[in-house]
Amino acid sequence: MVGASAGPLPGPPPGAAGAAPSRAAPSRAAGARAVPTGRWSWPLAPEPRVVRGFDPPARRWLAGHRGVDLAATPGSAVVSPVDGEVVWARRVVDRGVVVVLGPGGRRATLEPVDASVAVGDRVARGQRLGTLAAGHCPGGCLHWGVREGTGPRAAYLDPLALLGPAAPPVLLPLPRGPRLS
18 located within any domain: no
pLDDT at position 17? 33
Q: Is the pTM of this model over 0.95?
A: no
33 located within any domain: no
Q: How many domains does the chain have?
A: 1
Mean pLDDT of 130-145: 90
Q: Which residue segment(s) compose the domain that 134 sits in?
A: 50-162
Q: Residue 132: which of 124, 122, 140, 123 has the closest Cα?
A: 140
pLDDT at position 5? 34
In tens, the pLDDT along 33-50 reads 333 334 899 999 999 999
118 located within any domain: yes
The answer to which of 26-35, 75-84, 104-113, 166-175 has the lowest mean pLDDT is: 26-35
11 located within any domain: no
pLDDT at 139 over 50: yes
In tens, the pLDDT along 106-132 reads 999 999 999 999 999 999 999 999 999
SS (H, E, C) 18-87: CCCCCCCCCCCCCCECCCCCCCCCCCCCCCCCEEECCECCCCCCCCCECCEEEECCCCCEEECCCCEEEE
Which burial class, exposed, middle or buried, applies to 19 when counting CB atoms under 10 A from its CB (0-12, 13-18, 19+)? exposed
42 located within any domain: no
100 located within any domain: yes
28 versus 161: the higher-pLDDT residue is 161
pLDDT at position 35? 38
9 located within any domain: no
**What CATH number should be reported for the domain holding residue 140?**
2.70.70.10
23 located within any domain: no
